[in-house]
Structure 1
Amino acid sequence: MNKKLDNYFATQNFDIEEPPFGHMERFEKRLKEPRKKKYNFKWLSLAASLLLLVGIWTGTNLSSSSLALADVSPQMQEAESFFVATIKQEIKEIEKFRNPSTERIINDALNQLKTLEKQYKKLVTDLNKTNNDKRIIYAMIRNYQSRIEVLQDVLKQIDEIKNPKNTEDEEIYI
């Protein structure tokens, strides 16, 4: 079968027409040039427009309907940023000590923080309804303080687990 094909192609004349003048040079030039990819920016521009519209819609809806502790006054904004930074730092510190012996304590503390966060969100909605009621503002500050107290208690408990005091061996000096 292979010989039949070879004979067929050898006897046939496929070069009936001549290519136009300079065809070989143009062909070699195209082989040497790197190919440029063509992009269809129509879909990309449509997606960017949609993303922009969703962002604008979300930004206007969130900013107009929600009043937070930081929006009450510059001092409250400073206090809120301090509390948030302190809470994040304490959580990072606690996560460093996560191991099987501290797992339950840390998870309990994180659950307490979630509960306090839910309470805080309720306080935010109450603040939006009453518009700068001082009792709600104080409750929001107390909520942040409670979160920090929970985290500090967990750090104390972790410290006690790491460094247990053996009261039998200690001497009491007066």
Structure 2
Amino acid sequence: MKEDRTIEDLFKTLQGSFDTEEPAEGHQQRFLDKLSNANGVVRLAPKKRNWWRPLSIAASIILLFAVGASLFTSQPSMDEQLAQISPEASQTQFYFANLIEEQIKELENESTPETKILVDDTMAQLTKLEINYKKLEQDLINGGNSKLILSAMITNFQTRIDLLQEVMDKIENIKTFKNYDDENITI
């Protein structure tokens, strides 16, 4: 407690002699100039305001809003657009697509080493026909001659079905021929 008294006494005696005035304008710059001259230190440029940081934050926020808006206003799928243009075409597509999918599964189940080349070639042809069909869908959505395009789409489906049926018949013939050869082998 005695020490606290001495500190208080010290402050009482120094009261009024403290320098409370602010330094004159440009004091910091004069001090830095003297410091750099005395030590041979290279002086740094005065700090500039960086406007790029707030601008980059603003640009990021705008970008996030744009991405969010595009997610909420997404375009309908190709099937939805087709259903809007022609509900009958959408139903036909659903029917044919399911039928073709079943035949493709059956074809893949029937694949053997003897028929592998035939199955692979058929799958390549089906891929080309599918690409052609997608182009027809796009033409229909873009407003082409709808009757002509719908007819071409149905023909595309029928071509795929006929191709799959023909290949399945060939595979059955290969199996039959192989079984016939196996029966004629004598030991």
Contact 1:90 1:151 in 2 (8 A): yes
Contact 2:100 2:161 in 1 (8 A): yes
Q: Distance in 2 between matches of 1:158 and 1:90?
A: 13
Q: Distance in 2 between matches of 1:62 and 1:113?
A: 26
Structure 1 residue 74: deviation in Å? 3.0
Structure 1 residue 122 and structure 2 residue 128: aligned? no
- Per-residue CA deviation, residues 116-157 of structure 1 (Å, 9 max, x unaligned), is 011111111211222562101110111111111111111001
Q: Which residue identity is paired with 1:61? A: Q
Contact 1:94 1:106 in 2 (8 A): yes
Q: Distance in 2 between matches of 1:109 and 1:152?
A: 11
Q: Distance in 2 between matches of 1:159 and 1:117?
A: 25
Structure 1 residue 99 and structure 2 residue 116: aligned? no
Given candidates 153, 171, 177, the residue that maps to 1:140 is 153
Provide the aligned C-alpha RMSD in A: 2.9
| Residue of structure 1 equivalent to 2:6 | none
- Per-residue CA deviation, residues 79-116 of structure 1 (Å, 9 max, x unaligned), is 11110110010011111111110100100110000100
Given candidates 43, 47, 61, the residue that maps to 2:75 is 61
| Residue of structure 1 equivalent to 2:85 | 72
- Give the 3-state SS of the residue equivalent to 1:154 in structure 2: helix
For CA contacts below 8 A with separation 6 or more, give which structure has more relative contact order.
1
Q: Distance in 2 between matches of 1:97 and 1:64?
A: 32
Q: Distance in 2 between matches of 1:147 and 1:71?
A: 25
- Per-residue CA deviation, residues 8-45 of structure 1 (Å, 9 max, x unaligned), is xxxxxxxxxxxxxxxxxxxxxxxxxxxxxxxxxxxxxx
| Residue of structure 2 equivalent to 1:171 | none
Please identify the structure whose Cα radius of gyration is greater.
2
Structure 1 residue 67: deviation in Å? 3.1
Unaligned runs of 5+ in 1: 1-49, 167-174
Q: 1:61 to 1:92 in 2, by over 3 A?
A: same
| Residue of structure 2 equivalent to 1:162 | 175
| Residue of structure 2 equivalent to 1:16 | none
Structure 1 residue 159: deviation in Å? 0.5
Q: Distance in 2 between matches of 1:132 and 1:155?
A: 35
- Per-residue CA deviation, residues 61-84 of structure 1 (Å, 9 max, x unaligned), is 24499733x443332222111101
For normalisation by structure 1, the TM-score amounts to 0.56
Q: Which residue identity is paired with 2:88? A: Q
For normalisation by structure 2, the TM-score amounts to 0.53
Unaligned runs of 5+ in 2: 1-63, 181-187
- Aligned identity (percent) is 36
